[in-house]
Amino acid sequence: MDHDFHAVMRKHSDAELLDIVTKQRDDYVPEALAAADAELARRSLSPKQVARAEEDLGLKQRDKEQRASMPLGFGWKLVFLACPGLLTLMFAGSFKADGYTRKYREAWQCTAIGLGIYVALIVSCSALSAPLPR
């Protein structure tokens, strides 16, 4: 499987390249890391550019953390409670894909509670409608 890691790394921003060669080293094969290092050397960033890239990385990390901890809104909780099912779980999946991990967990919890309520109602109604023994 041939990869042109140099072409791929040229497409990354300065901040992304710095992130790859510092924090994400374990996520890349050695050839990709060498290409990222070579691309950074080719760009010969000034200290000011490196500082700006590191600042961008910090902003992205804070945004990621903020998204991950954002709670599910009351309206969404009602939707997941009242209409537990495949469609609501698809919405939950989109939360996770967008980085909203807390919303994702809360959506699953509300869906499970909603299903539990419906099961309890069905069991209760069937028990109440059953004929009494004589």
**Residue 10, class by beta-carbon neighbours within 10 Å (0-12 exposed, 13-18 middle, 19+ buried)?**
middle
First and final C-alpha spacing in the chain: 76
Show which of 18, 49, 67 is a domain's final residue: 67
**Cα 17 to Cα 52: distance, rounded to the nearest angstrom:** 13
* 82 plus 63 within the same structural domain: no
Q: How many domains does the chain have?
A: 2
* 87 plus 107 within the same structural domain: yes
* 93 plus 107 within the same structural domain: yes
Domain that holds residue 9: 1-67
Show which of 22, 46, 67 is a domain's final residue: 67
Show which of 27, 49, 67 is a domain's final residue: 67
- Quick one: pLDDT at residue 1? 42
* 79 plus 60 within the same structural domain: no
Task: Say which DSSP state 98 is in.
Answer: T
Read off the tokens for 56.
Answer: 């961008």
**Cα 75 to Cα 110: distance, rounded to the nearest angstrom:** 11
pLDDT above 70 coverage of the chain, percent: 99
Q: How confident is the model at residue 95 (pLDDT cuts 50, 70, 90)?
A: very high
